[in-house]
Amino acid sequence: MPAYKAPRKDIDFVMNELFDFEAHYEKLSNGDAVSRDIRDAILNEAVKFCEQVLAPLHQSGDEEGCHWSPEGVTTPAGFVDAYKEYVDGGWASITMPEEFDGQNLPHSLNLAVGELMGQANHAWAMITALSSGARQTLIAHGSKEQQETYLSKLVSGEWTGTMCLTEPQCGSDLSFLKTRAENNNDGSYSITGTKIFISGGDHDYTDNIVHIVLARVPGAPEGTKGISLFVVPKRLPQADGSLVDNAVSCGSLENKMGIHANPTCVMNFDGSKAFLIGEENRGLNCMFTFMNSARLDTSLQGLTHSELALQGAMSYALDREAGRSLSGIKAPERPADPLMVHPDVRRMILTIKSFSEGSRAFIYYLAQLSDLEKEGDKLAGKLMGLLTPISKGFLTECGIEAANLGMQVYGGHGYIREWGMEQNVRDARIATLYEGTTGIQSMDLLGRKVLLDGAQTLNAFIDIIQTSLPEIDAEFQTVLQSQLTDWQTLTQEIMAKAGANIDELGASAFDYLMYSGYIITAWMWGRMASVALVNGKSNDSAFYRLKVETARFYFQKILPRAHMHKMQIESGSSSVMGTSMDDFRESIA
């Protein structure tokens, strides 16, 4: 398996040359603490930790997996020690407020660190990402007492957090949720029920885990309007600082396709002592803070799997020898030419590269918007609402394609565990499923963020792209302009059709999300190529040349997929919805 190498050069390109993070941080109230030197120092330390500590545990952790016993769950060898280094390094507290012993640095910087940790060891890093969501939820919605009790330990990393939504009968449709919460009339509740698919639900990293749990109180309205949110610690903190076991246990570990080194748990709450977050029957409103954080983290996983595929496939294609170039022998001193001489291998490598580097630009753009949203920028908040489902859906779909192509480059060796490519495929597959499948993200995008909004936020985003076009090289500018016009026209057509037949909405949603993702990524590649064309004049390096050539590949070979999705949208819903349910049933009888 190729050794992981942090893509620091491309991260620096995106942060410093493409998006000018230095100027961005000058706009933030907490940005004065992030000089270029400090940012570089933080990223340099993150690189060391990821390359030297986390990455060597990536494959061994997958092979060993996690282990359940009645006493609790244990993680693979080396994982607990790596987590201790993470805590000692202060990594958990980067973006947290100073009042909770945090470092109060911008969210975007933490995202760059998160990219590196996720790539170095996806399964290990998942627990840290979910803890971040728990912290943000308590900061936004927790009571002063809850914040004082839990936040300092969560911020330091001494405790971790989880998100407990899913139940055996209740997946994405939370209206079927049955876990119940009885009011103890002493400021606490007793929660009883079972949650499944809980990442990091139990482990040996820490001596306490803070569960954020959805449940119903007696007499609550039916459906999602009757859901409340609770904090349920694995162990209850006492006044003297000691911990007492709560009635929370892991019943078993899920037997999964991938991310074997992350404990995905069936969690049992047997009259567990719990504390209400916010108001009764308003839990879903609070939980969206956690869910939106998790969706952005999952978008990052799409980048993670694309980058791992790129590093593995590029290294292999340059070293592995097989066949001869059709245009003439390129390595006459060798018995065969490197795989990279073959056009189909180039096609796969450039597809992976266009997804990996395009995803990075997309996510770091979102990271800047996230910083601005936290500063109270209302437009940035609306743009985050619009773009988060696109990034979560599109980038994870691209991550799966990139992982599969990375394995394909290796041929039969890609199917063998020792090379690491099949692990990347297995680990990537979950990303389009959790935190809302691609179909759910698509309906959120088209139904809530575009149609209900009358496309106002979409049009504001398109205006931002339009404003940037004069700075984009003419080679890419004309194509982008045409795509933007089509995007607005297509949106209006869908809105009109959905008014007459609501099934047009559902039948179009997936294609609309993918169509939008391809256009946004084209904008990113147009901008990256334009920067590379200018900066490459004074620095004639292969890095800049390949950036421009990858942009050309994206526009000529990948962007045409958007037209395919447009055609599928325009064909309407009849071929999707024309078959009756009875015909489906009878066909398998």
pLDDT tens, residue by residue, 89-112: 999 999 898 999 989 999 999 999
**The pLDDT of residue 63:** 97
- Domain range summary for the chain, segments of one domain joined by +: 446-577
Query: CA-based angle 185:202:120, to the nearest 5?
Result: 135
Which pLDDT belongs to residue 545?
Answer: 95
CA distance 81 to 124: 11
68-77: average pLDDT: 96
Distance separating alpha carbons of residues 370 and 383, to the nearest angstrom: 9
- Beta strand spans in 200-326 (E): 209-215, 228-233, 235-237, 243-245, 248-253, 264-277
Least confident of 38-42, 435-439, 539-543: 539-543
How large a percentage of the chain has pLDDT more than 90? 83
Whether pLDDT at 436 is above 90: no
Residue 172 and residue 109 in contact, taking contact as beta carbons nearer than 8 Å: no
Instruction: Give the per-residue pLDDT at 174.
Output: 80
Please give the pLDDT value at position 268.
97
Residue 426 backbone phi and psi in degrees, to 5: -65, -45
174 vs 574 pLDDT, higher one? 574
Cβ 531 vs Cβ 464: under 8 Å: no
Question: How many C-beta atoms surround the C-beta of residue 399 within 10 A?
Answer: 32
Q: What is the radius of gyration, based on Cα positions, of the chain? A: 24
User: How sure is the predictor about 170, in pLDDT bands with cuts at 50, 70 and 90?
Assistant: confident
Strand partners, 229: 214, 277
User: Given this model, what pLDDT does residue 1 score?
Assistant: 66
Tokens of 158: 């001494």
pLDDT at 82: 98
Average predicted confidence (pLDDT) for the chain: 94
DSSP letter, residue 146: H
Phi and psi angles of residue 274, each rounded to the nearest 5 degrees, phi first: -140, 165
pLDDT score recorded for residue 536: 85
d(CA 307, CA 553): 18
pLDDT at 335: 85
pTM of the predicted model as reported, rounded to 2 decimal places: 0.95
Confidence at residue 367, expressed as pLDDT on a 0 to 100 scale: 95
Q: Which two tokens stand for residue 411?
A: 């041929």
pLDDT at 325 over 80: no
Q: What is the pLDDT of residues 462-513, one digit of tens each?
A: 999 999 999 999 999 999 999 999 999 999 999 999 988 999 999 999 999 9
Question: Catalytic pick from 115, 307, 357, 435?
Answer: 435
Work out the average pLDDT over 271-282.
95
The pLDDT, as a whole number, for residue 172 is 80
Q: Among the listed ranges 268-282, 348-362, 536-550, which one has the minimum average pLDDT value?
A: 536-550
User: Which among 321, 408, 397, 406 has a CA at the least distance from the CA of 358?
Assistant: 397
d(CA 164, CA 193): 11
Catalytic site includes residue 148: no
CA nearest neighbour of 212 among 156, 260, 262, 140: 140
In angstroms, the first-to-last Cα distance of the chain is 47
Tokens 């909004």 label which residue? 453
pLDDT above 90: residue 201: yes
Q: Which two tokens stand for residue 541?
A: 């390096």
The CA-based angle 292-294-296, given to 5 degrees, is 70
Q: Quick one: pLDDT band at residue 330, thresholds 50, 70, 90?
A: confident
H-helix or E-strand containing 520? helix 503-535
